[in-house]
Amino acid sequence: MEITDIYKTITKPSPEVLFKDRNSKFYGYAFPISSEDEVKQHIEDLKKQHHQARHWCYAYQLGKQEQDYVFRANDDGEPNNSAGMPIYGQIQSFEVTNILIVVVRYFGGTKLGVGGLINAYRTGAQLALEASKIVTKTVNVDYAISFDYKNMNKVMRIVKEKNLNIINQTLELSCEIIISVRLKDANAIFEIFDTLYEINIKNLND
């Protein structure tokens, strides 16, 4: 089975977008997030910014691989599944993760009906995503490799040969380097260092 070790996300918030339907206004926003705590903060900020709005509906997804995904959709007082799920549908459609999309509604006096709401919230989310810069990232595993200074050349030769990405290093009498390896290569790299005499490798993601 092939390991999928890439995912799509955004690295900075989208510009504000606006969708109107029968005097109701729907403002769409997309934010990069790495934890559920950030969701609350963004919602609070938007409630301050749009304190006269009626609904702050949202959906988010966290996780870098399908089996790890955590998602939530919130209708915030709109009829069931007329807001949060249409927003989440756009997250799925654009195949993005580690993202929060909020659509803020100002009621314009005319009821849109469930179909109208689904369309408006879906469109608000779609416009926010279209206005965002979507990037592809890799899922990485970080390893700490520790060794005595005398074994430095042995370790560095492999780092160079395999073109490994060092994210931190302490090179003294006892040395440690931290490398970041793409998930699909992680086992092979671990095996190489694990078989070397007097060299320890440890997975920092466990």
Query: What tens digit of pLDDT does each residue of 90-148 get?
Result: 999 999 999 999 999 999 999 999 999 999 999 999 999 999 999 999 999 999 999 99
Average pLDDT in the chain: 95
Q: Phi, psi at residue 198, to the nearest 5°? A: 65, 20
SS3 8: strand
Sorted by sequence, the CB contacts under 8 Å of residue 36 that are 6+ apart come out as: 60, 62, 70, 72
Q: Decide the pairing of beta strands 199-203 and 140-148.
A: antiparallel
Instruction: Compute CA 55 distance to the chain's CA centroid, rounded to the nearest angstrom.
Output: 24
Cα atoms in the Cβ-side hemisphere of radius 13 Å centred on 111: 5
pLDDT reported for residue 3: 66
Angle at Cα 66 formed by Cα 28 and Cα 43, nearest 5°? 30
Angle at Cα 50 formed by Cα 45 and Cα 51, nearest 5°? 95
Its pTM stands at: 0.84
